[in-house]
Amino acid sequence: MSWQQKIEQSLQQRHAAVTYRTRQLNQGSTGRCLRIDNQSYINFSSNDYLGLSHDKSVIAAWRKGSRCYGVGSGGSGHITGYMQPHAELEQQLADWLAYPRALLFISGYAANQALLASLTAAGDRILADRLSHASLLEAAVNSAAQLRRFHHNQPDALQRLLDKPCDGQTLVITEGIFSMDGDSAPLSQLQAQTIAAGGWLLVDDAHGIGTRGEQGRGSCWQQKIKPELLVITFGKAFGLSGAAVLCQHEVAEYLLQFARHLIYSTAMPPAQACALQAALIRIQQGDDLRDRLQQRIKQFRHGAANLSLGLGRSDSAIQPLWVGDNQSALELVHNLRKRGLWLTAIRPPTVPLNTARLRITLSAAHQASDIDDLLEALNAIDR
Ligand SMILES: *Cc1c(COP(=O)(O)O)cnc(C)c1O
């Protein structure tokens, strides 16, 4: 088969399975709303849970940072790309979450790839919740270690895997709040099991950081655990992008030696590190934003409880509505968009077969009337 034939065949298969993906040009976003095809919508598809992507203090910090440091870091952190704003931000993150060290990464995807590639070796095993993010599962598949997945949020299933013998090291992986279902992991239970088995725990708290726990410290703080490896990302509640790994001093030094995503990649722009510092302050002082988000979540769940579409068990900003087949999910999305509501259908292979869903994300940027509009539309379509 030629390159051309191979590519065309893959595209046709995607079309046939109704899983073909396209991007939509967003002509202007305010956090709460977006514009597509010259049409304005309320945005229920954004991970900007606290509305910080448009926060004045964060924008001002980015401006000031770019005036002081320019817009690019100019190189890998190992060469000349590690500057004062990066160092300050790492220290602030470590202090905030009570870890000895924090290391910045350009994205959560890169952080997860780097961690698994550099830490695990042949003979080790990775035991991951089967709904873990693609950046974790892919990295685990590509690693030299053996990957075993356990049933979502089921400590018993993890225990059965832990009970099997392993000569190498064990790394247990879960998320704080799961990105597609919005539910939380039983972290203290998972941590106790992992410790008892002599393994390490990695928690990816992309969706919990900023939204959960005292001062927004996330799922682990809320559930009173401190995993050996905590990954936080800045593309969600922080309203920016990038990520950090929180860990022990020696682990940070190890990653600086062996994590190729750090060594061979340009460090994040220093102005972005300045903006992240401002976002961190807003998050630490953000009880008002977290309260608003919780109100929206309560309002939505109360109003959606009687829909025939299944409401998930989530109490987070991520609220899935189960649909089942791909075609119905797409039709539902189409209907909602006609009413000025922007939602996304999540389909396999992102989620398991026949679990297509609407993934509704709520934000402190939403007004109560936005949630009313959404509920009214869902009820009208449901009938
Ligand atoms: C979004 C997300 C990532 C990826 O983070 P980026 O910074 O967007 O690359 C990783 N893990 C989880 C659980 C996520 O939700």
236 near 207, Cβ under 8 Å? Answer: yes
- Determine the atom of ligand 1 nearest the C-alpha atom of 109: 9
Condensed to tens digits (0 to 9), the pLDDT of residues 26-67 reads 998 888 999 999 999 999 999 999 999 999 999 999 999 999
Instruction: Quote the ligand 1 centre to 306 CA distance (angstroms).
Output: 32
DSSP 193: H
8 is catalytic: no
* Domains along the sequence of the chain with CATH: 24-50+287-382 (3.90.1150.10), 56-284 (3.40.640.10)
- Whether 109 has a binding-site annotation, put simply, is yes
Q: How would residue 263 be classed by pLDDT, with cut points 50, 70 and 90?
A: very high
Segment (H or E) for 335: helix 326-338
322 near 355, Cβ under 8 Å? Answer: yes
Q: How many CA atoms lie within 13 A of 234 on its CB side?
A: 28
Long-range contacts of 6-15 (CB under 8 A, 24+ apart): none
- Determine the atom of ligand 1 nearest the C-alpha atom of 243: 7
Catalytic residue among 43, 46, 47, 363: 47
- Whether 194 has a binding-site annotation, put simply, is no
15 is catalytic: no
Catalytic residue among 207, 366, 370, 373: 207
Token duo for residue 343: 């939602």
133 is catalytic: yes
Condensed to tens digits (0 to 9), the pLDDT of residues 84-110 reads 999 999 999 999 999 999 999 999 999
Q: How much is the pLDDT for 296?
A: 98
Condensed to tens digits (0 to 9), the pLDDT of residues 288-346 reads 999 999 999 999 999 999 888 889 889 999 999 999 888 899 999 999 999 999 999 98
Instruction: Quote the ligand 1 centre to 336 CA distance (angstroms).
Output: 26
Instruction: Quote the ligand 1 centre to 133 CA distance (angstroms).
Output: 7
236 is catalytic: yes
Look-up of token digits 């389909």: 347
Which residues approach ligand 1 with their CB closer than 6 A? 107-109, 112, 133, 135, 175, 179, 204, 206-207, 233, 235, 241, 243
Please tell me the distance from the alpha carbon of residue 56 to that of residue 78, in angstroms, as a whole number. 32
Q: What is the dihedral of CA 367, 373, 374, 378, to 10 degrees?
A: 160
- Concatenated DSSP letters of 111-133: HHHHHHHHH--TT-EEEEETT--
Catalytic residue among 48, 204, 205, 228: 204
Q: How would residue 255 be classed by pLDDT, with cut points 50, 70 and 90?
A: very high
Counting residues of the chain whose pLDDT is more than 70, the rounded percentage is: 100
Instruction: Quote the ligand 1 centre to 310 CA distance (angstroms).
Output: 26
207 is catalytic: yes
381 near 342, Cβ under 8 Å? Answer: no
Condensed to tens digits (0 to 9), the pLDDT of residues 163-221 reads 999 999 999 999 999 998 999 999 999 999 999 999 999 999 999 999 999 999 999 99
